[in-house]
Amino acid sequence: MKAGRKNLRRACQEGAAVTLADGESIMQVVTLRGSNLIEVLDSKGVKSLALFPAKFQKSFWIKNGNFVVVDASGRDEALESGSKIACVVSRVLFHDQVRALEKSGEWPAIFKSTSNAWATGTTSKVEEELNSEEDDDDLPPLEANTNRNRPVEVDSDSESGSDS
């Protein structure tokens, strides 16, 4: 194991208590976009793109609904300059760290119901609002795929023999 990955794991295991530095904030992962890009939701309900650094590859996996600490110090300047990526993930939060942040009072109010739902597997108001926007999008219904042959259903001889 390389030294960088070993130090990442050590810092993750030792750091049960998370302290936020200047310019860092807690955000929730909304969708994974691929190529180390994720869409995150901040405490004000604003979505933006964040970069999931390559140093986390093969060390941390995230999915929709997870929480991350994001360095958003240059967010406004990046958006004004035309960059689509507004912030960089600096830390992935695990369940124990989320619990500790909730108790300390640093947890954003918009995520209070979401963090409990994350542990129990239920959906929250924020997720329901996000999903309700993407329900139909005025698209036609899906049609059946006609490129595949369906197996022909053959009546068995035993059923016809019992009727005679």
Q: Which 3 state secondary structure label does DSSP give 22? A: coil
Which of the two residues, 136 and 91, has the higher pLDDT score? 91
What does the pLDDT read at residue 158? 57
**Are 63 and 110 contacting, i.e. CB atoms less than 8 angstroms apart?**
no
CATH classification at residue 61: 2.40.50.140
The tokens for 107 are 């947890």
Three-state DSSP state, 45: coil
Confidence of residue 122 (pLDDT cuts 50, 70, 90): very low
| Of 61 and 89, more confident | 89
Question: How many separate domains does the chain show?
Answer: 1
| Cα–Cα dist 132/144, whole Å | 25
Residue 148 lies in a domain: no
Domain membership of residue 130 (yes or no) is: no
Give the model confidence (pLDDT) of 133-142 as tens digits: 555 566 666 6
> Does 1 fall in a domain?
no
Tell me the pLDDT band of 108, cut-offs 50, 70 and 90. confident
Q: Is residue 66 part of a domain?
A: yes
Residue-wise pLDDT for 25-84, tens only, equals 999 999 999 888 999 999 889 899 999 988 887 777 888 999 999 998 878 788 788 888
- Whether residue 107 lies inside any domain: the answer is yes
Whole-angstrom distance, CA of residue 83 vs CA of residue 59: 27
pLDDT higher at 107 or 137: 107
Structural domain includes residue 68: yes
Structural domain including 72 reads 25-123
Q: Is residue 12 part of a domain?
A: no
Q: How far apart are CA 132 and CA 163, in angstroms?
A: 53
In a domain, 110, yes or no: yes
Torsion of CA 79, 85, 91, 94, to 10 degrees: 100
